[in-house]
Amino acid sequence: MKRLFLLAFFLNIVFAVNGQKYMTKNGFIGFYSHTPMEDIKADNNQVVGVLDISTGEMVFQALIKSFHFDRALMEEHFNENYMESEKFPKSLFKGKITNLASVDFSKTGTYDVTVEGDLTIRDVTNKISTKGTIEVVNGGINANSKFNIVPEDYKITIPGVVRDKFDKSMAVTVTMKYTPIANK
Amino acid sequence: MRRLSLTFLLALITLGIFAQDDLMNIVNQSTPNEINYTTATFKSTRVMNGHSIERMQTGQLDVRISHRFETLNSGGYNFFGLDISYIHLGLEYGITNWLMIGVGRTEIDKTFDGFAKFSILRQSTGAKEMPVSVSAVTSVALKTLKFPDQNPTNYFTSRLAYVAQILVARKISEGFSVQLTPSYVHRNLVATELDPNDIFALGAGARLKLSKRVSLNGEYYYIANPKTYLSQQVYNPLSVGFDIETGGHVFQLFFTNSRGAIEKQFIGETTGSWKKGDIHFGFNISRVFTLKKHLKSSNY
């Protein structure tokens, strides 16, 4: 009985883990806002992302200081004045693919998905829902999405002097190239 | 058998419940424990007159225009000093992420100056804990004013003065930073035998953020040499003012008893006294241009 229980337990873990979770440590999140004066654009290539294909759940975590800009001064302002990255060093997305059934993870191809979840920036959490694609490739899964967020939703205050330099919203691009996790 | 299936079910449920937490754990374990360098200990590469540990980032050019007006006590006739101004122009550039250089010209003694600033240590938390930032500044000033007496042989070297400084700063909290600056000035030629060729000084600077874009700054240099027996009375330079940043510009507005904007002048040649009202209004304008962009690829 005991042996059976142990067997079942381990089988369960192996089943739940093996080939079900995918991750990346070099995910890309970038944002962009076009303005007449100058474009505001930053890239982060060190986003950690995990995708569980059995449940469709996904989590991304980005360090704010890993967003890099063309202009060093803009990067300093981003960290010090807008994001306050000393106080809020991380940004997190926890979400779920809502139409998981339409993705066949065993067949290579590109599938349209809808992702819903909670985006936390500066300790402010908002629900977001966005369209994206899941691309099943040999040896991994790529996830892509583009959506807009409004800085003011995350209590990012933009002073009046430069407010007209910003679009109302920022275009965010997410590109994840996941590979399977062997253990864990 | 029933017990087994119960256990099985329980295990499944447990896994189901913890799935998202599980993902969180994976993410948290995989998020690199990076070195978190402290930024913006000071807003500008100067505290007020003197250097701060801040440097120009790689590929960034800082165009600096500094004015010091005459003293407030020069009276209403001179519009409290604003009629007369001393200007320092500077071009400063970040070569690497640890080295910046600059050249400048000021009308006081028609002086050219050049400096190099090295970032030696950077305050950080995370993977590497470093309590302070340390930079070294070395500069040279070339006085090109004609020698008053053309009779004796005048050497080119007599026009030169050198400065070496170690800058040690700590951003104590988000809004408060301090800096200590041991300084050494060597003048090749001084006015009289009474004046020392070597001056030792200890500078102290602080920045207190009043809002996201405005800070109150103070800077003081204590000169260790005796100051009363020189050919002219000199004082310890004290400057108090504000940093105001607006996008690509930083404005520094302050009151100081020093007329000179470069180390050699404000450390060795400050003849104004706060007590007597020899207070100069001054400002630095810094405009940063990006000559070399940081992002190599574009995903848009």
Q: What is the ipTM of this complex?
A: 0.73
Please check whether residues B148 and B242 belong to one and the same domain.
yes
Question: Binning pLDDT at 50, 70 and 90, where does residue A158 land?
Answer: confident
Written as one letter, the residue type at B127 is: A
A21-180 homologous superfamily: Lipid/polyisoprenoid-binding, YceI-like (2.40.128.110)
Please check whether residues B128 and B197 belong to one and the same domain.
yes
Domain that holds residue B10: 1-31
Please check whether residues B157 and B251 belong to one and the same domain.
yes
Please check whether residues B65 and B140 belong to one and the same domain.
yes
Judged by a CB distance cut-off of 8 A, whether residue B9 touches chain A is: no
pLDDT value at position A19? 56
Give pLDDT tens digits for A67-99: 999 888 888 889 988 898 888 999 999 999 999
- Cα atoms in the Cβ-side hemisphere of radius 13 Å centred on B180: 4
Is B298 contained in some domain?
Answer: no
Distance from CA of B20 to the nearest CA of A (A): 7
Domain count, chain B: 2
Q: Tell me which of B1, B26, B128, B174 to substitute to probe the interface with A (most A C-beta atoms closer than 10 Å).
A: B26
pTM: 0.81
Spell out a b/e string for A17-48, using b for 16 or more CB atoms within 10 Å of the CB, else e. Answer: beebbbbbeebbbbbbbeeeeeebbbbbbbbb
Is B297 contained in some domain?
Answer: no
pLDDT greater than 50 at residue B286: yes
Quick count: other Cβ atoms within 10 Å of Cβ B58? 17
Per-domain residue ranges of chain A: 21-180
Q: Are B141 and B164 in contact (CB under 8 A)?
A: no
Whole-angstrom Cα distance, residue A133 to residue A113? 5
Please check whether residues B25 and B125 belong to one and the same domain.
no
Please check whether residues B15 and B158 belong to one and the same domain.
no
Please check whether residues B7 and B47 belong to one and the same domain.
no
pLDDT value at position A35? 76
Question: Could you tell me the two tokens for A36?
Answer: 């007449």
HEC string of B170-236 equals EEEECCEEEEEEEEEEEECCCCCCCCCCEEEEEEEEEEEECCCCEEEEEEEEEECCCCCCCCCCCCC
| Closest partner CB to A76 (pick from B30, B39, B94) | B39
Give pLDDT tens digits for B245-284: 887 789 999 999 999 999 999 998 999 999 999 999 999 9
Residues of B in contact with A88 (CB under 8 A): none
pLDDT greater than 80 at residue B13: no
**Interchain contact, A72 vs B57, CB within 8 Å:** yes
Please check whether residues B191 and B155 belong to one and the same domain.
yes
Please check whether residues B143 and B193 belong to one and the same domain.
yes
Is B300 contained in some domain?
Answer: no
